[in-house]
Amino acid sequence: MRAAAVALALLIAAPAAGAADLSVRVDVSDQRMDVVLRGVTLYEDWPVSTARSGKVTPIGTFRPQRLERFHRSSLYDNAPMPWSIFFSGNYAIHGTTAVDRLGSPASAGCIRLDPQNAERLYALVETLGMDRAEIVIEP
């Protein structure tokens, strides 16, 4: 475990390359997320929930725009959105209390994660900087 922490620290401390250092890859079809730091997969196959029927999760490549440790939705009954990484207007990657729904479409468009995974991802983006991260959402 200590070796992994040292390796991660070295990857984070390395100089930034031209492309994004941190790539958050969301596969809407599979309802899964991978987190890749400079070509090294840190986390694989995290279950997510994207938009349910009648709603939309944006597809494309985005940069994080805003971080909020504990946000409450102004659109959906003050719903808790811990560890929010906003990437396109009101769309965010965030933790959810509906962990039993992860792995299937259930959100109003955001990308929901297990709160522990959301916290890990938030910490990576916060440490590296939003300008060194990308969010790739594929259909």
pLDDT at 7: 46
DSSP string spanning 50-62? -BPTT-----EEE
The per-residue pLDDT string of the chain (139 residues; one tens digit each, 9 = 90 and over) reads 554 454 455 455 555 555 799 999 999 999 999 999 999 999 999 999 999 999 999 999 999 999 999 887 777 777 778 999 999 999 999 999 999 999 999 999 999 999 999 999 999 999 999 999 999 999 9
CB 35 within 8 A of CB 121: yes
CATH number at residue 93: 2.40.440.10
CB 104 within 8 A of CB 49: yes
Q: What is the distance between the alpha carbons of residues 82 and 20, in angstroms, rounded to a whole number?
A: 24
Q: What is the distance between the alpha carbons of residues 121 and 84, in angstroms, rounded to a whole number?
A: 10
Which is it for the CA torsion 105, 118, 26, 81, positive or negative?
Answer: positive
**Which residue range(s) make up the domain with 65?**
2-138
CB 49 within 8 A of CB 101: yes
pTM across the whole model: 0.86
pLDDT at 8: 59
Our count of domains for the chain comes to 1
